[in-house]
Amino acid sequence: MSRTAPTDEIRKPPPVQDEEARLRELGYQPVLARRMGGFGNFAISFSVISVLSGCMTLYGFGMGTGGPAVMLWGWAGVGLFVLCVGLALAEVTSAYPTSGALYYMADRLGGRRWGWYTGWLNLLGLLGAIAGIDYGAALFTGAFLNLQWGFQPTAGSTFLIFLAILLLHAVLNLFGVRLVSVLNSISVWWHLAGVAVIVGALAFIPDRHQSVDFVFTEFVNDTGWANPFYVAAIGLLLAQYTFSGYDASAHLSEETSNASVAAAKGIVRAIWVSWIAGFALLAGLSFAIQDYAATQNSATGVPPAQILLDALGSGGATALLLVVIVAQLFCGNAEVAAASRMVFAFSRDNALPGSAIWRKVSGRTQTPVPAVWLAVAVAALLAVPSLYSATAYGAVTAINVIGITPAYAIPIYLRLRAGDRFTPGPWSLGRWSKPIGWTAVGWVAIVTVLFCLPQKSPVTVDTMNYAVIALAVVLVLASVWWYVARRSYGTPTAYGTAREEAEISEGIV
């Protein structure tokens, strides 16, 4: 029998990498259950992005910060730049598939301080995302109860619903990553079917629709600022907030088979599928607006609920609101999973106060149980100001964006700076790495500045953008804690020392 020709060897797919061996090379002993497949990894980022959460929750914000024109064109433009960020981040993820994700990449490529500050920014963004997503679900639940039973939502009742949702997500995450993966897989189809049903209903049932000219050119400014370019820039928050959280695929890489490829693909697929679905959803909502001012001032407190109510009647609106709420619950559950893995990983490297507690893993479910509880507890604290200020939810949203967006760019920038010293993983951009990478870094620099700017004029205690204050507080606290923990913090160079083995054993309960 003749030997296989060299050309046949070239055509063979690359061998699947031994991810457990790769994790040990990166310095960690595997302790989490690797029970998630490629689709499940894509599903968690898609679920966290959740167009039925971000687009629906912030639609009212978009109506006053540029209106339909900025929402539609902004979504198209922001989605393209975010895809560049995702592609560049996916390349680095392929090289460093760990639960620490962004901060571990930054640490390896730039040093301990780069990793330290990236980790704190990433953690701020993830915890802010849980608060923003679940509080948004609470708002929509209040609107659903209003339509169904005449319930009048208040700040207090909304906060109680929010706490109940947080508790649900904590409990679901304690059952292990397999349940999380199953729920996220269901979430993908729920989201896609939900968008199709909502857009289809809004397209065919209402007797009246807005014109194409209205949807793509109508500019609305309720911010108090006179400059339309400034208002349009602020209006990009809707899209940029929704397009966040796709680092979840990286955070779950230690629980994903063939993670060096699957996690990278998961990031990219989640972005472009969300890009298409979100544009269809925003267009469908905008075409179906019956009364713009009445929609903005809806008694439900949620403008999309009013659009559904005016277009479809009480029964149809109630049914579709339920579809949206379930999608938001899927989204929040996925975000708790991602954030808890970040807490676990950061604690594993002794970066958090009480790290010895937060890095413990259940021996039964192989889930970081204390990290799950810490993630939901901090998210609850972040939303407490909503009891006193109507602008608090917007502040939490901005905190999420301002924390997580710069954290995406840091490992990308450090990878570009490293040049040939960076060794790509199995998934690589090749010659496109530099142009896509620099585009991503430039975009993140622009939106980071934009989202620190005030969104309303005049600037008062109620209208101030607190994101910049939150960013400053986190950086100051991270700097102070650095001088306390810098001797103990650090990512390992290789797993296998007696000290590391002892610490891992102590962390399994």
Q: Which residues of 2-18 are buried (b: 16+ CB within 10 A; e: fewer)?
A: eeeeeeeeeeeeeeebe
Q: Which residue has the tokens 């949807």?
A: 215
Q: Which tokens sit at 203?
A: 């397209």
Distance CA 198, CA 280 (A): 10
What confidence score (pLDDT) does residue 391 get?
64
H-state helical runs in 290-302: 292-296
pLDDT of residue 241: 84
- Give the pLDDT confidence of 4-37 residue by residue, as tens digits: 333 333 334 445 567 888 889 888 888 888 888 8
Is the pLDDT at 402 greater than 80? The verdict is no
Q: What is the pLDDT of residue 453?
A: 84
Per-residue tokens: 233 = 């820039």
Give the confidence band of 150 by pLDDT, cuts at 50, 70, 90.
confident
Distant-in-sequence, close-in-space partners of 125: CB < 8 Å, separation ≥ 6? 244, 399, 400, 401, 402, 403, 404, 405, 407
Angle, in degrees to the nearest 10, between helices 155-174 and 112-149: 120
Q: Please indicate whether residue 492 or residue 375 has the higher confidence score (pLDDT).
A: 375
Phi, psi of 361 (to 5 degrees): -125, 135
Q: Are 180 and 372 in contact (CB under 8 A)?
A: no
Is the peptide bond prior to 411 cis by the omega test (within 30 degrees of 0)? no
Give the tens place of pLDDT for each residue, 285-318: 999 999 999 999 988 888 999 999 999 998 999 9
Instruction: Identify the band that residue 208 occupies on the pLDDT scale cut at 50, 70 and 90.
Output: very high
Rounded to whole angstroms, the Cα distance separating 434 from 424 reads: 13
Whole-number Å distance between alpha carbons of 32 and 30: 6
Q: What's the confidence (pLDDT) of residue 500? A: 44
pLDDT above 90 as % of the chain: 59
pLDDT band, very low/low/confident/very high, at 3 (cuts 50, 70, 90) = very low
Residue that wins the pLDDT comparison between 435 and 460 = 435
pLDDT at 461 over 80: no
Q: What percent of the chain has pLDDT over 70?
A: 91
Give residue-wise pLDDT tens across range 104-146: 999 999 999 999 999 999 998 889 889 888 998 998 899 889 8
According to the model, what pLDDT value does residue 497 have? 42
> What's the CA angle centered on 137, arms 134 and 141, to 5 degrees?
140
At 230-248, the pLDDT tens digits run 999 999 989 998 998 899 9
**Residue range 158-168, pLDDT digits in tens:** 999 999 999 99
Is pLDDT above 60 for 507? no
Residue-wise pLDDT tens digits, 233-287: 999 989 998 998 899 999 999 989 999 999 999 999 999 999 999 999 999 999 9
Residue 152 is predicted with a pLDDT of: 84
- Could you tell me if 216 and 68 are in contact, meaning their C-beta atoms sit under 8 angstroms apart? yes
pLDDT at 380 over 60: yes
Cβ contacts of 54 within 8 Å, gap of 6 or more: 238, 241, 242, 243, 278
Backbone angles phi, psi at 28, to 5 degrees: -125, 140
Residue 387 Cα distances to 139, 156, 498, angstroms: 13, 6, 50
- Average confidence (pLDDT) over 213-225: 95
Q: With H, G, I as helix, E, B as strand and everything else as coil, classify residue 362.
A: coil
Q: What confidence score (pLDDT) does residue 374 get?
A: 96
SS3 221: strand
* Predicted local distance difference test score (pLDDT) of residue 478: 87
Q: What is the pLDDT of residue 506?
A: 46
Of the candidates 383, 396, 319, 264, the one whose C-alpha atom is nearest the C-alpha of residue 144 is 319
Q: Band of the pLDDT at 395, cuts 50, 70, 90?
A: low
Mean predicted lDDT score pLDDT of the chain: 87
Q: Give me the pLDDT at residue 154, please.
A: 87
> pLDDT at position 471, please?
78
Half-sphere exposure of 237 (CA within 13 A, CB side): 33
Give the burial class of 181: count Cβ atoms within 10 A of its Cβ; 0-12 exposed, 13-18 middle, 19 or more buried: buried
Interaxial angle between packed helices 155-174 and 177-204, expressed in degrees from 0 to 180 and rounded to the nearest 10: 130
| Token pair 């009212």 in the structure block, residue | 60
Nearest alpha-carbon partner for 101 in 250, 248, 246, 261: 250
CA neighbours within 13 Å on the CB side: how many for 290?
A: 18
How much is the pLDDT for 493? 66
What is the structure's pLDDT at 14? 46
pLDDT tens digits, one per residue of 68-94: 999 999 999 999 999 999 999 999 999
